[in-house]
Amino acid sequence: DIQMTQSPSSMSASLGDRVTITCQASQDIGNNLIWFQQKPGKSPRPMIYYATNLANGVPSRFSGSRSGSDYSLTISSLESEDMADYHCLQYKQYPRTFGGGTKLELK
């Protein structure tokens, strides 16, 4: 199975901060990665497809990037509504595998 190592597992940040979350893939997954946002009591919402493509309706402060086997989700200027859990998912190979998740909280 492809292992997705996500970091950090939790973080606290202030409004307006630039925030970056990273997933490292244990094997080549190309750009076959999705970033999800999940708020308490809600289902996961896809934010970024194919590593870098913004999903419909997602604010432009969110972006995705790739450097080799490292994939990053960046929030350029944190807003209160961004407090949530974030997960990456690789869909290059079966079984699909998730990163361990990042809990983003307000400092």
Partner 1 sequence: EVQLQESGPGLVKPSQSLSLTCSVTGYSITSNYWGWIRKFPGNKMEWMGYISYSGSTSYNPSLKSRISITRDTSKNQFFLQLNSVTTEDTATYYCARGGHFDYWGQGVMVTVSS
Of 54, 66, 85, 92, the residue at the interface with partner 1 (CB under 8 A) is: 85
For position 61 contacting partner 1 by CB under 8 A, the verdict is: no
Of 36, 37, 78, 84, the residue at the interface with partner 1 (CB under 8 A) is: 36
* Nearer to partner 1 (CB atom), residue 10 or residue 77: 10
Neighbours of 99 (CB within 10 A): 25
**Contact between residue 46 and residue 56 where contact means Cβ atoms under 8 Å apart:** no
Of 37, 49, 64, 82, the residue at the interface with partner 1 (CB under 8 A) is: 49
Whether a cis peptide bond, with omega within 30° of 0, leads into 95 is yes
Q: How far is the CB of 101 from partner 1 (least distance, A)?
A: 4
